[in-house]
Amino acid sequence: MSAPSAQKLAENVERIETLSRRLMAALSERQPHNPGVEGPGPDLYVTAANAWMRTLTEQPTRIIEQQVNFWGETLKNYANAQFSLAKGHPVAPEEGPPADKRFRNPLWQSHPYFSFVRKQYLINADAMKRAADGLELPDETARRRVNWLTEQIVDMMSPTNFLATNPDALEKAIETEGESLVRGLENLVRDVEQHGGEMIVSLADREAFMVGENIGTAAGRVVHRTPLYELIQYNPTTDRVHETPLLIFPPWINKFYILDLKPQNSLIRWLVGQGHTLFVVSWKNPDASYAEFGMEEYVAAYLEAMDKVRDLTDQRRLNVVGYCIAGTTLSLTLALLSRRGDDRVNSATLFTTLTDFSNHGEFTAFLQNDFVDGIEEEIRRHGLLKAPLMSRTMSFLRANDLVWGPAIRSYMMGETPPAFDLLFWNGDSTNLPGKMAMQYLRGLCQANDFAGEGFELFGQKLRLADVQVPLCSVACEGDHIAPWTDCWRGVAQMGSGEKTFILSESGHVAGIVNPPGRDKYGHYTGESGFADGAEGWRESATLHKGSWWPSWGEWLAARAGRMIDARHPDEECDPAPGSYVHERAL
């Protein structure tokens, strides 16, 4: 070994020792969680075990056939690997590129060792999925939960997740003389320290962005502030504006600047440019003192913000938008206003909004009593549904993309997290007040009261049919959080006589943040109404190239009144994006 290499090795050993001590100290800060939020409850394992025993008793040949097939494929794979090693030549490559992006490295096909490991993993994964599919489970809920748990195990055990069986990480370690592994350990220590002992991988470089400086920079003023929200009015960019103001309620699970990441994909800037007097709510990131804030406080905040906008613009009516959970709460608010005979809302738009929770979809595993009971116990301890727990739960809906893939790049490859604004926003999540979180989980998600017997607020039993204002619902075709058919089903039950549905291509965020000019994702519009079901609407709908924003813009402009001189926010108010948006959840 040369002198420089020896010196480098000694330096790396010292760095590893220092980092190891920091890692152990950081891990010791982790607060223990209730077992209910660490994994499925015992009932799921008992259900699966009973189903397997029943199959073994009633259909033993089925179990034997599964085992024989598994061992036959395993022995065949082992024999092929032995043959390749004995001959000393690479494995013949398979035709076409690998379907799974985790195995893009050519060594997964050409090298006997890695080829054997990959094929055995795929054999194991297929055997597990077939075994799970073969269980006679009591209901669809148990089926979805078992399938979800099986997928989690399969993804977790991928050979790409382990250094000894990841050719990309091994090649990088050799190329950098181990420096990549040391940097990976530094990244791991940083993440554990930043998240209070939790091992949560950073999806984006936290130092690359500053809200108000290089993202969230649309010009405006904080024209009203309460303990729960700041109300921002944006500066007009046109001489004339629509008379009816527009108020957007973003979700309080994340920050509002998803609608203003960069000038070129900012919905806020686009709406201002279309001649709307635009107001946006920026929610407070709550601490434990907000534990007793429930849906009542949020609906009251909606009403107060509406009143403030009407006062500032001297208008009796306004147009409103709700995104995700804020759209759910907006729907409750609209139902309440209808019950009270209050017609302040001229029209409402819902972005990726669920109001009928009869189908839990990919959230089925998380919306059973064992997990929700665990969340309730966490809330009793902290007063909050803390952001890290919420982020972890959401990430495991797309584990390969949001957990294992980023962990490999950061911890095994030693790469710096990317400077990606969307992922930066995704990691800037917020806490949820305990009372509100449990009302949402128990009353809306589990009991489905809004679509059923009625969700009680302010002494009223609110139902979907109570929503009477003109509506436009925008859903996203690839949305795994709010599936478009579920969004459609809720709107179909609303009592509005005028309802429009727009379906954007792509997912929960990319489908919404889809500005004109890119033409990356198209959108569907239809005139068939809500009588023939979601798929019937889709079959008769028309696919348009490019962003849905102009289609919605036409709908909104038709309900925004005549043109008047532009309105400007009070220059003495604090500048946008305000102060609440800078509060980070710990």
Q: Which residues are catalytic?
A: 324
Amino acid occupying residue 218: A
Backbone angles phi, psi at 580, to 5 degrees: -65, -30
Helix (H) or strand (E) holding 247: strand 246-249
Between β-strands 542-544 and 220-225, what pairing exists: parallel, antiparallel or unpaired?
Answer: unpaired
Q: CB 60: neighbour CB atoms within 10 A? A: 10
CA distance 312 to 570: 10
Pure H helices in 356-501: 369-382, 387-395, 399, 405-407, 421-426, 434-438, 484-492
Q: How far is CA 403 from CA 105, 156, 193, 258, 396, in A?
A: 20, 10, 18, 21, 7
CA distance 521 to 476: 10
CA distance 96 to 166: 21
Amino acid occupying residue 402: L
Locate 359 and state its tokens.
Answer: 């189908």
Cis, peptide link before residue 251, omega less than 30° from 0: no
CA dihedral 195, 201, 206, 212 (to 10 degrees): -80
Amino acid occupying residue 399: A
Longest alpha-carbon distance in the chain: 85
**CA angle at residue 447 from 444 to 449, to 5 degrees?**
60
**CA angle at residue 199 from 195 to 200, to 5 degrees?**
70
CA distance 148 to 140: 12
Find out whether 252 and 324 touch, Cβ atoms under 8 Å: no
Residues in CB range of 492: below 8 A, 6 or more apart: 499, 530, 534
Spatial CA neighbour of 44 closest among 139, 161, 165, 178: 139
Q: What's the half-sphere exposure (Cβ side, CA atoms, 13 Å) at 86?
A: 6
CA dihedral 431, 435, 436, 437 (to 10 degrees): 60
Find out whether 297 and 333 touch, Cβ atoms under 8 Å: no
Beta strand segments in 284-333, E: 318-323
CA distance 350 to 342: 20
**DSSP 8-state assignment for residue 415:** P
Pure H helices in 397-462: 399, 405-407, 421-426, 434-438
Residue 471 three-state SS:
strand
Distance from first CA to last CA of the chain, Å, rounded? 46
Helix (H) or strand (E) holding 224: strand 220-225
Measured in residues, the chain has a length of: 586
